Amino acid sequence: NAGVTQTPKFQVLKTGQSMTLQCAQDMNHNSMYWYRQDPGMGLRLIYYSASEGTTDKGEVPNGYNVSRLNKREFSLRLESAAPSQTSVYFCASSEASTPLHFGNGTRLTVT
């Protein structure tokens, strides 16, 4: 019963490098989300996917792209990492208007 699985758990990038954060859920949820968490800021929505094949911008989408690969997987890509993208990234999933289930996060540092 894994729930929401995020990989990697930790990552250090140099400015300008690219990487993809992976997220998979095994609860057959239609909706998936990417949030970032910064100290004192709570969680801010980057992108979400209401269903397979659809994605939409959240509050802070600049510098990110997403892919809803299938119903289970929703990836977040940083094309050219910047120090301002140093954060903890959380993936979540839900069904309709039910509460969100979160992964344990990816801690990203951009130097």
Partner 1 sequence: SQQGEEDPQALSIQEGENATMNCSYKTSINNLQWYRQNSGRGLVHLILIRSNEREKHSGRLRVTLDTSKKSSSLLITASRAADTASYFCATALYGNKLVFGAGTILRVKS
Is 69 a residue that touches partner 1 (CB under 8 A)? Answer: no
Interior/surface letters 24-48, b for 16+ CB within 10 angstroms, e for the rest: bbeeebebbbbbbeeeeeebebbbb
Is 89 a residue that touches partner 1 (CB under 8 A)? Answer: no
Scan for tokens 């970032």, then name that residue: 36
Token digits of residue 26: 């095994």
Is 2 a residue that touches partner 1 (CB under 8 A)? Answer: no
> Using the rule CB under 8 A, which residue among 1, 2, 53, 96 binds partner 1?
96
How many Cβ atoms sit within 10 Å of the Cβ of residue 1?
A: 4
Q: CB of 80: closest distance to partner 1 in angstroms?
A: 26
User: Which residues contact partner 1 (rule: CB under 8 A)?
Assistant: 4, 31, 35, 40-45, 48, 50, 58-59, 90, 92, 94, 96-105
